[in-house]
Each structure stands twice: as C-alpha cells, then as structure tokens.
Amino acid sequence: MWKEFRAFIARGNVVDLAVGLIMGAAFGAIVNSLVNDIVMPPIGLILGGVNFADLFIPLDGKSYASLKAAQDAGAPVIAWGQFIQAIINFLVIAVAIFFLVRAVNKIYKQPAPAPAEPAADIQLLTEIRDLLKNR
C-alpha cells in the first residue's frame, strides 16, 4: 500500500494540483487585500464616505453602531456590504484567471491539424462523379 501511495503522490497531476491550490490561496489573500484596502475605500469615498464592510441590515429591528457590535450582540444580520466586497473579489479573480488562461493558451497554441484525406472509396466515388459531370 505504501508503494502505491508513493506512486500516486509522485504523479505530476497531484503535485501540480497541490502547487495550484497553494498559489490560489496566496492569490486569494492578495486579491482580498487589493479589494478591501485599495479598491473599496475610494469607492466608499466617492459614495459619501461609506465603509462597505460596515453595511448591514439587522433582522431583529434594533439599531447597532457597527456590524461588529451587532455580531457581538448575537443579532441576526444581512451583511450586504461584505457580500458586495466578495462579489468584487470574485470579479477581480475571474478577470485575472481569464488573462492568465488566455496567455497560457497563446503560449501553447498548437496549429490546427490538417484535414484528413478522404477514404479511398470516397476518393473513387468523387472521381466517378467528376467524370460523369464532365460528359
């Protein structure tokens, strides 16, 4: 069983998956910082000094100073500001992955295979058709 496990781990696909997962997690942290620390503050400023991370709707009907205060009080909330930030995170990641895949596809672009020649019987039928056409 140990040999089989070692053979499984040594396969390139597993190692590639592990590297991709680690890189994806690191990239996610970078995108979170980009959105939370660079993109959202100017958007909030343009919209009148709004902090998107603090936008929420308390479902218990009470008023809270911040999302953190509502969560500490155990109030059920709809944290729609954080949802907006998650959507922007997703869009940034999707655009980055799109451009990455596009670049990789250009690098590894293979020429289209030449069309296969028709079978011998099809070639013969085509020649017969052409001969009959010329009569």
What is the structure's pLDDT at 75? 92
For residue 59, pLDDT beyond 80: yes
Between 8-17, 19-28, 50-59, 94-103, the lowest mean confidence (pLDDT) is in 8-17
What is the structure's pLDDT at 34? 87
* Number of structural domains in the chain: 1
Q: Please check whether residue 89 is in contact with residue 31, taking contact to mean a CB–CB distance below 8 angstroms.
A: yes
Tokens 């059920």 label which residue? 76
Q: Please check whether residue 126 is in contact with residue 118, taking contact to mean a CB–CB distance below 8 angstroms.
A: yes
Q: Residue 124 sits in which domain range? A: 2-134
> Considering the chain, what percentage of its residues have pLDDT values greater than 90?
15
Query: Among the residues of 11-119, which ranges form H helices?
Result: 12-33, 40-46, 67-72, 80-107
pLDDT one-digit tens code per residue, 11-49: 767 777 888 888 888 888 888 888 888 888 888 888 888
What is the structure's pLDDT at 118? 84
CATH at residue 25: 1.10.1200.120
pTM over 0.85: no
- What secondary structure letter does DSSP report for 119? P
Q: Please check whether residue 36 is in contact with residue 54, taking contact to mean a CB–CB distance below 8 angstroms.
A: no
Closest alpha carbon to 55 in 37, 67, 43? 67
